Structure 1
Amino acid sequence: MTTQQIPHGYWENATGALIPEANVKEIDKLRDQTVRTIFKKAQELNELLTVFKDSSFSDIANFSQISADQYGAKIGGNKGNLSLSSYDGRLKIQRNIAEKISFNEQLQAAKQLIDECLEEWTDGSRNEIKALINRTFNVDKKGEISTAKVLALKTIEIDHPKWQSAMQAISDSINIIGSKAYLRFYIRDDATGGYLPLSLDIASI
């Protein structure tokens, strides 16, 4: 039921029922007013942040192209990570591109090869090693495998043909299914020389 359909003198409750205004408690009316007042400001702030985000990405992309024009290069749009600093070095903006990764069926081949490695290296393999590998390939509540845990295996340097084949299978199983761009803002602390983040996340302010 929309607000326009609510007859004059009635309030709609959370179940969609119409309640005569006289039967709505004053504290409930005040709560409703408080929520709507704050929420309206939140919506306005959300719209401002959306405009700010779009314009900031555009400004950075335009500056990057102007800089690339000095060398006759065309870079096109918001691609790649970069860091921009003010002339005095006190202000810094970072643009980061996070890629969304999924794995295809070749990941199962990697798991099989790793299992075979574990069986060969020790007598039945130590239980804690097996548990570590199994946790790596376990799915979460969404039915997805942890990308970070799988990719962490590739940082382990083991000179064994099957292990190397397993790591190649992991590489071949990677699919880039999308990316998301982020902007991060920092200001230098003159006392320490380190950079402090300027948070635009309301939960962290």
Structure 2
Amino acid sequence: MQNAHGHLVPTELVKPIDQTRDSLVQELVLGAKTLRDELGQFKDQVFKDVAAFVVLSAEQYDVAIGGKKGNITLHSFDGRYKVQLAIQENITFDERLQAAKALIDECIAEWSVGSDPKIQVLVQDAFKADKEGKINTGRVLGLRRLEIKDDKWMRAMTAIGESLQVVGSKQYIRFYERIGEDKYAPISLDVAAI
């Protein structure tokens, strides 16, 4: 039998309990891989079936729909079940974010003359990177919601908007069962959650 270091060990030198453990782990992992593959096939089929249904539904109105669309929620006729397909876009900023930060820093420097330096920390927090060096897009985009009528600030907000880049997307599917009159509970396909 091959050990963890890649060495071959004669079977008669491997303790029976180690052989039994190895057999059990091999069997369980094979089962897990089989389920993973079945879930992958099921997921692919769900996306195909829902896409076909959306086309069928659109044909009722003589409309052709092409390409990936947004989020979709389908309910069973009795409302007991619902299926949600969601597309989450991965958003990042390009180099223009640095220009926006420089403009914002200039605004803060002008506006905070004679005031407490802690004010600068509040806005600079939006540009703080996490452990992987990624900037929290939600915090930065939150700055765009502020109604500040200042030419420099507005140029910074334009730079933030133009620096946004969609670098990919991921499709999710979720299944729910109604509990009570208006609350839905997820039908978990996560082994740890079952």
Measured at CA, do residues 187 and 31 of structure 1 come closer, stay the same or move farther in structure 2, by a change above 3 Å? Answer: same
Deviation at 1:124, TM superposition (A): 6.0
Q: Which runs of 5+ in 2 are unaligned?
A: none
Amino acid in the other structure paired with 2:179: D
Deviation at 1:46, TM superposition (A): 0.3
* 1:1-26 superposed Cα distances (whole Å, 9 cap, x missing partner): xxxxxxxxxx1111111112122122
Amino acid in the other structure paired with 1:36: Q
Amino acid in the other structure paired with 1:196: A
Where 2:103 maps in the other structure, the secondary structure is helix
Q: Does 1:195 align with 2:184?
A: yes
Show the counterpart of 1:6: none
Amino acid in the other structure paired with 2:190: D
CA distance in 1, matches of 2:179, 2:75: 14
Measured at CA, do residues 92 and 124 of structure 1 come closer, stay the same or move farther in structure 2, by a change above 3 Å? Answer: farther
> Which of residues 7, 12, 20 is equivalent to 1:30?
20
CA distance in 2, matches of 1:129, 1:187: 48
**What's the C-alpha RMSD, in Å, of the aligned pairs?**
1.8
Q: Does 1:94 align with 2:94?
A: no
Q: Which runs of 5+ in 1 are unaligned?
A: 1-10
Contact 1:61 1:76 (C-alpha < 8 Å) held by counterparts: no
Amino acid in the other structure paired with 1:197: P
Task: Count the aligned residue pairs.
Answer: 194
* 1:133-176 superposed Cα distances (whole Å, 9 cap, x missing partner): 33332333333222222222223333333222211111100111
> Which of residues 183, 192, 198 is equivalent to 2:173?
183
TM-score when normalising by structure 1:
0.86
- Structure with the larger RCO, 1 or 2 (CA within 8 Å, 6+ apart): 2
Measured at CA, do residues 26 and 156 of structure 1 come closer, stay the same or move farther in structure 2, by a change above 3 Å? Answer: farther
Measured at CA, do residues 79 and 36 of structure 1 come closer, stay the same or move farther in structure 2, by a change above 3 Å? Answer: same
Contact 1:110 1:170 (C-alpha < 8 Å) held by counterparts: yes
Of residues 19-28 and 106-115 in structure 1, the stretch that sits farther from structure 2 once superposed is: 19-28
